[in-house]
Amino acid sequence: MSVKHLKIELERLSFDGRGCKDVLRKRLKAYERSRILSEACIEDPNMGHQHYTHIVVIDFEATCEEHQTKDYIHEIIEFPAVLIRVSDAARVGEFHSLVRPVLNPTLSDFCRQLTGIEQSDVDAAPTFPEVLNSFESWLTQQGVGAMPTRDFRHGGHGSSGSSESGDVAAPRAQTSPTRIEALHSEALGKFSVVTDGPWDMARFLLMQCSVSELPFPSWARSWINLRKVFSNFYITKRLCLSEMLTALGIEFVGRPHCGLDDARNIAAIAEVLLRDGALPRVNETIAHLPHSMPPSFKLDVHLSHYSIH
Ligand code: AMP
Ligand code: MG
């Protein structure tokens, strides 16, 4: 079927007629599949694999240099999140905070120009342990309940491990696997993080937790890399954020490399995927957290693929 005929057929069915041929073809195919299952009174077998009710799109911005060395230590300077309910692909909340870096408190000209973040903005912002605590409280208020980042050695609740408090937390890899796994699945039971690529969790957050001497949050150990979901679902090559938007016939809204705008645009892609019948599943996991996380470490990211049919 040509693009023109696909568009006509989708619009006749009151579906979104925007996007490239791969997208339109998959949208129509997904509709046909669900119609056939429904007429046969068969529940979609994919639905049984859905373990969470919400997805949380996160896109960190971090300190950077134009010509940075391989062991450059990034610190998170913007922490945005967009909360989406999976059942109806509705955007139900947003979290946003700038973050004050402590190792390199002065932003480079390159970083300010790239991200649009001003020095005075980060100077007035809270540090990362405070922001992580606010984020986890926000998730709890939203009813999706992140397990707070805590120091398991003391069995304490709430935020801990701040270097400012002098209470340095143990990395979670050193604590009881049974307890961690229980908390991990509890956290993943309600939401899963969605990112554009692996680096928000596997690089920026891991590095930041090392700098802040915080245990790595259980909810961040596994996540959904939207690029993989997109290419598996629409059967395309792996595309970057702007290319995925173009393939869907959507324009980028806002300023690229502004964390909140990036997160909102990634959320827009996730919403289309959900509406088209994709059930994004966790497809990346940090296999081994380093026992002690030195400022410079080699990341060991185990990447597993989950095809969505
Ligand atoms: P993004 O989500 O693409 O805006 O990038 C996240 C972070 O990656 C930025 O805040 C920077 O720290 C870093 N980054 C992105 N692009 C570049 C670049 N061209 N050079 C150096 N660092 C970059
Ligand atoms: Mg960004």
**Ligand 1 test: best mutation among 61, 104, 109, 201, most atoms within 8 Å of CB?**
61
Atom of ligand 1 nearest to the CA of 258: 4
Range with lowest mean pLDDT among 84-98, 150-164, 240-254, 258-272: 150-164
**Alpha helix locations (H) across the chain?**
3-12, 21-39, 109-115, 119-123, 128-141, 177-190, 199, 206-211, 226-234, 241-248, 259-275
Report residue 90 as tokens.
């509705």
Highest mean pLDDT among 62-71, 121-130, 143-152, 158-167: 121-130
CB 273 within 8 A of CB 229: yes
Atom of ligand 1 nearest to the CA of 257: 4
Domain at 51-147+182-299, CATH class:
alpha beta
Which among 255, 303, 263, 307 has a CA at the least distance from the CA of 281?
307
Of the pLDDT bands very low, low, confident and very high (cuts 50, 70, 90), residue 291 is low
**Ligand 1 test: best mutation among 60, 98, 114, most atoms within 8 Å of CB?**
114
- pLDDT of 35 > 60? The answer is yes
**Phi and psi, residue 78, nearest 5°:** -140, 130
Of the pLDDT bands very low, low, confident and very high (cuts 50, 70, 90), residue 28 is confident
Residues assigned a catalytic role:
61, 257
Average pLDDT along the chain: 81
Ligand 2 center to 58 CA (angstroms): 9
- pLDDT of 158 > 80? The answer is no
Could you list which residues have their CB under 5 Å from ion ligand 2? 59, 262
Query: What is d(CA 273, CA 268) in angstroms, rounded to the nearest whole number?
Result: 9
Residue for token pair 């998959």: 26
- pLDDT of 142 > 80? The answer is yes
Q: What pLDDT score was predicted for residue 292? A: 54
Q: List the domain boundaries for the chain.
A: 1-45, 51-147+182-299
Query: What is d(CA 194, CA 156) in angstroms, rounded to the nearest whole number?
Result: 28
Of the pLDDT bands very low, low, confident and very high (cuts 50, 70, 90), residue 157 is very low
Q: What pLDDT score was predicted for residue 58? A: 98
Atom of ligand 1 nearest to the CA of 64: 12
CB 169 within 8 A of CB 214: yes
Contacts of 218 (CB under 8 A, 6+ apart): 147, 172, 180, 183, 184, 187
Q: What pLDDT score was predicted for residue 22? A: 92
Answer yes or no: is the C-beta of 59 below 6 A from any ligand 1 atom.
yes
Answer yes or no: is the C-beta of 61 below 6 A from any ligand 1 atom.
yes
Which among 198, 180, 196 has a CA at the least distance from the CA of 188?
180
Of the pLDDT bands very low, low, confident and very high (cuts 50, 70, 90), residue 290 is low
Instruction: Provide mean pLDDT across the span 229-253.
Output: 97
Render the burial of 105-125: b for 16+ CB within 10 Å, e for the rest. eebeeebbebbbbeeebbeeb
Query: What is d(CA 85, CA 52) in angstroms, rounded to the nearest whole number?
Result: 9
